[in-house]
């Protein structure tokens, strides 16, 4: 660990004029919601949109300085690709990035915009990585690993130094985990500066390789992964990162995609910050109660902000439902003129805005003389919806809240509180 600490110190010096020193902002909202003292380390505001540029630049700088390399290779479907491409361009060397065939177009274009030569290959990251190794051998160029490289780990560790410099009495630091490079670097830096700090990792339930590895004390590979947090969707953790995590990290917790989506929504609405799913894992852990921070001073590392806009729009739409700000009500009406107007008149009386109407007659399970109507309405809170449903019932119109178990979904529509 001492050798990595030395590299972190060097990386801090090298990166000073290359990357942003990102803000560490206290969140009144999340502090109130969790009864802790919550600060956000905003790596979503970093160059290229994530922390990855720190490790990529430091690793490449060392190789340019010591090995005089003129090219590098990497495999990535997102943030590491952009970090390597930007770093290579800044250092004046060639970069070849292999990305899986189905990488979203905007990620490919972002990587190309930093001067990289992008090759789309393979259906999975593992296939792209194998191809990148092959290209690296043929070019005689180094392959910059996204996490299992001590220089990359050291570069990410500069975040830990910045946290300590801005908040030296921090008690707990929550960090997203994919392959483990980010949390390894932060853990080495912070444990060196203040050994009593607790470092807690957060992984998605759909990609829990390091969680299971940590709990079992040995490396565990997960073949089937599925999560919206694609930035941490890693099947095979790093051996180097695992050793560091095993020694320095206090715990690792899991959050599900619903909790991740809610964290993204609340960070956007309350914090005015855009973050990708992987970037909000610590917020998801705090809001879901997976980590109890009552009365403690906590830093949540928001690791990146490169989110697909189409996903973000779906997150906002879902978030409005989950937070009880948009409700869906459904009921059966007699299939004749004027019946729907009765429902709309009651909704108008409560000054709710209708955002969608679905009218279903053809379903063979519905009585031939009836139609199922589902309405999406903007509402101030759940209590108001319940009152409106009671008023509809008084008029002989039996409507119920939907968007629940029948759709294979779950939410917080009935939850009171912040």
With cut-offs at 50, 70 and 90, classify the pLDDT of residue 407: very low
Name the band, by pLDDT with cuts 50, 70 and 90, for residue 57. very high
Q: What is the pLDDT of residue 6?
A: 95
- pLDDT category of residue 123 using cuts at 50, 70 and 90: confident
- Of 395, 400, 398, give the one whose Cα is nearest residue 414: 400
Q: For residues 158 and 174, is the Cβ–Cβ distance under 8 A?
A: no
| CB neighbour list of residue 400: distance below 8 Å, 6 or more residues apart | 329, 330, 331, 389
pLDDT attached to residue 26:
97
Q: Which residues are catalytic?
A: 52, 303
Helices (H) then strands (E): counts for the chain: 15, 13
Nearest to 137 by CA among 93, 55, 84, 71: 71
Other Cβ atoms within 10 Å of 359 Cβ, number: 12
Amino acid 224: pLDDT: 87
What is the pLDDT, as a whole number, of residue 335?
Answer: 86
pLDDT of residue 403: 58
Q: Give residues with Cβ within 8 angstroms of 168, minimum separation 6.
A: 193, 194
Is pLDDT larger for residue 361 or for residue 391?
391
pLDDT above 60 (res 316)? yes
Residue 23 has pLDDT above 80, yes or no: yes
Question: Please, which residues bridge with residue 260 across strands?
Answer: none
> What phi and psi, each to the nearest 5 degrees, are found at residue 37?
-115, 95
The SS3 assignment for 71 reads: strand
**What distance in Å separates the CA atoms of residue 376 and residue 272, rounded to the nearest whole number?**
26
Q: How confident is the model at residue 221 (pLDDT cuts 50, 70, 90)?
A: very high
Token pair 């899991």 in the structure block, residue: 254
- Run of H or E including 112: helix 105-113
Token digits for 142? 């180094």
The average confidence (pLDDT) of the chain is 91
pLDDT higher at 409 or 27: 27
Q: Which residues contact 212 (CB under 8 A, 6 or more apart)?
A: 220, 222
CA dist 230 and 212 (Å) reads: 18
pLDDT, greater one: 268 or 368: 268
Whether residue 366 is predicted with pLDDT greater than 90 in this model: the reply is no
Domains and CATH numbers, the chain: 2-51+149-318 (3.40.50.1100), 70-139 (3.40.50.1100), 325-407 (3.30.70.260)
Amino acid 30: pLDDT? 97
The residue-averaged pLDDT of 14-33 equals: 97
**Mean of pLDDT values over 57-78:** 94
Token reading at 38: 């919550």
Q: pTM to 2 decimals?
A: 0.86
SS3 label, residue 127:
helix
Strand duo 198-204 + 172-176: pairing? parallel
């Amino acid at each position: 660990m001492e050798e990595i600490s030395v590299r972190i110190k060097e990386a801090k010096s090298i990166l000073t004029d290359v990357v942003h020193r990102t803000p560490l902002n206290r969140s009144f909202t999340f502090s109130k919601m969790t009864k802790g003292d919550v600060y956000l380390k905003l790596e979503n505001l970093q160059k290229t949109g994530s922390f990855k540029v720190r490790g990529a630049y430091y690793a490449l700088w060392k190789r340019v300085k010591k090995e005089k390399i003129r090219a590098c290779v990497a495999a990535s479907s997102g943030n590491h690709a952009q970090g390597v491409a930007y770093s290579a361009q800044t250092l004046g060397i060639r970069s070849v990035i292999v990305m899986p065939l189905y990488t979203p177009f905007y990620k490919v274009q972002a990587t190309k915009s930093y001067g990289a030569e992008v090759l789309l290959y393979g259906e999975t990251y593992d296939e792209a990585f194998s191809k990148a190794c092959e290209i690296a051998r043929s070019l005689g160029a180094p392959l910059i690993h996204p996490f299992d490289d001590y220089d990359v780990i050291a570069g990410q560790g500069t975040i830990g130094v910045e946290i300590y410099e801005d908040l030296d009495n921090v008690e707990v630091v929550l960090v997203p985990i994919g392959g483990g490079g980010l949390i390894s670097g932060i853990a080495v830096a912070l444990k060196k500066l203040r050994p009593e700090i607790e470092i807690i990792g957060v992984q998605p339930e759909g990609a829990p390789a390091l969680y299971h590895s940590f709990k079992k004390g040995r490396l565990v590979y997960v073949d089937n992964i599925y999560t919206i947090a694609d930035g941490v969707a890693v099947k095979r953790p790093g051996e180097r990162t695992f050793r560091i995590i095993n020694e320095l990290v206090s715990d690792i917790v899991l959050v599900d995609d619903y909790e991740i989506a809610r964290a993204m929504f609340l960070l956007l609405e309350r914090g005015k910050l855009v973050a990708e799913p992987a970037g909000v894992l610590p917020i998801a852990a705090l809001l879901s109660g997976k980590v109890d921070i009552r009365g403690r001073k906590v830093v949540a590392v928001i690791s990146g902000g490169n989110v697909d806009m189409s996903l973000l729009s779906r997150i906002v739409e879902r978030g409005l439902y989950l937070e009880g700000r948009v409700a869906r009500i459904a009921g059966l009406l007699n299939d004749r003129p004027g019946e729907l107007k009765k429902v709309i008149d009651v909704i108008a009386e409560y000054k709710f805005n209708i955002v969608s109407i679905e009218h279903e007659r053809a379903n063979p399970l519905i009585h031939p003389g009836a139609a199922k109507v589902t309405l999406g309405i903007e509402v101030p809170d759940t209590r108001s919806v319940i009152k409106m449903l009671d008023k509809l019932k008084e008029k002989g119109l039996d409507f119920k809240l939907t968007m629940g178990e029948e759709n294979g979904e779950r939410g917080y529509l009935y939850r009171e509180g912040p």
